[in-house]
A = this chain, B = another copy of it.
Amino acid sequence: MVGSNNAITDIGIGTMPVLIDESGRILLIDQRHLPDKFEYFDATSFDDMVHAIKVMVVRGAPSIGVAAGFSLAWESEIVARMSPSTFLTALKERGDRLKETRPTAVNLAWAVDLIINRAETMISAEGIGDLLQVVNRLKQEAHKIMDHHVEVNKRLSDFGAQLVSENAKILTHCNAGSLATCGWGTALGVVRSAHIKGLQPEVFVDETRPRHQGARLTMWELKQDNIPSTLVCDSMAGHLMAQGHVDLVVTGADRIAANGDTANKIGTYNLAVLASYHKIPFYIAAPLSTVDGALESGSGIPIEYRDQSEVLMMSDRFITVDGARAYNPAFDVTPANLITAIITEAGILRPDYNASIKDALATAFC
């Protein structure tokens, strides 16, 4: 299986970034090397998964959540054997280590908390007599998180496709496709669903410096699906819009506050301001697991700052002078007032987001 390309174009769900192979290993597509190389990274060991999330072998808020769910469930077996008496404490410590890898995306914490809650519930009901049974249930839970994502992404994408007109020109940023979201995609899921509906969308893809997720991953996924795509530099969005080449903008999300403020890949906020100026709809597409109801607004979202070498270098070569300093926020926050709608599995949410998000959370399977 390693090295194969499991994309099923047009009718498939896209390429799954996380999978469990026949011998129970947790394998991640190494997204750092796409599209040059398609290869899997073995993240079965807990430390390897922590490393893989940090260095972005796996990336995209939902995919990180799925990977973390598997990792914690798999690790629970080791913890159960090594220190059964302190099982929950040890599991929580592992959960915290996972949460610390990437601070901005909330899905990671969501998946970790879900696994730990399940463990707590089972142990409080049944005790720690048969921990391996708990472990098995946690593993099933991790699989359910993945299956849930595919289903949820398909559902939200069908809603999103209702916002796409025939021959729409869509601008997107970063990668919110199958690779980022564990099946189908969110922003790219909307494109995929519109394509399958026969709407013939065309996509402008922001290259998404510094790590080029748009150029490398979104362009790759769109090619898999034979959806027409054009790569642009992040600096070209305003000109594209002014020339009338953009009908709508859609991106994914890493964390959505209760009021609709949304953290996503650095550069998203630029697009939201530009779209607003040009009166072009700006949509966020994300599962409800991306909502952090505990946060009133985006000002509370922690922004990850990554190593400046990502900005100073490109393709392993320095692009600037020796000793240069760089600034490297990995995310920015788009205020709710710039977001035309948030596309979720519970439907298309509109302002006032405080109310519409609350309603959606109350009705959704989450």
Interface residues of A (CB under 8 A from B): 35, 204, 206-210, 212, 215-216, 219-220, 223, 229-240, 242, 266-267, 269-270, 272-274, 276-277, 311-312, 314-315, 317, 319-327, 329, 332-333
Contact = CB atoms under 8 A, between A and B. Distances in A.
Task: Identify the 7 closest CB pairs spanning chains A and B, nearest first.
Answer: A235-B267, A239-B332, A234-B235, A209-B233, A238-B270, A238-B269, A215-B320
A269 B311 contact: no
13 contacts: A209-B235, A216-B320, A219-B320, A223-B321, A229-B324, A231-B311, A231-B325, A231-B326, A231-B327, A232-B311, A234-B235, A270-B274, A315-B317
Contacts of A220: 320-321
A327 B228 CA distance: 13
A312 B255 CA distance: 31
A63 to B, nearest CB: 20
Contacts of A229: 324-325
A322 B35 CA distance: 9
B223 A311 contact: no
A171 to B, nearest CB: 11
Contacts of A276: 277
Contact of A323 (B215, B223, B312): B223
Given A277-B273, A329-B239, A320 B231 contact: yes
Contacts of A206: 235
A326 B238 contact: no
A122 B272 CA distance: 57
A104 to B, nearest CB: 12
A239 B223 contact: no
A239 B320 CA distance: 22
B311 A314 contact: no
Contacts of A234: 209, 233-235
A329 B236 contact: yes
Contacts of A319: 207, 212, 215-216, 315
A234 B311 CA distance: 10
A232 B327 CA distance: 6
A272 B210 CA distance: 22
A59 B204 CA distance: 28
A326 B207 CA distance: 10
A185 to B, nearest CB: 17
Given A204-B327, A209-B235, A232-B311, 15 more contacts: A207-B319, A209-B234, A223-B323, A223-B324, A233-B267, A235-B270, A236-B327, A237-B270, A240-B327, A242-B333, A270-B270, A273-B273, A274-B274, A314-B314, A315-B317
Contacts of A320: 35, 207, 212, 215-216, 219-220, 231
A232 B326 contact: yes
A207 B325 CA distance: 12
A272 B273 CA distance: 11
Nearest to A173: B235
A29 to B, nearest CB: 15
A277 B319 CA distance: 30
Contacts of A223: 321, 323-324
Contact of A324 (B219, B270, B329): B219
A78 to B, nearest CB: 39
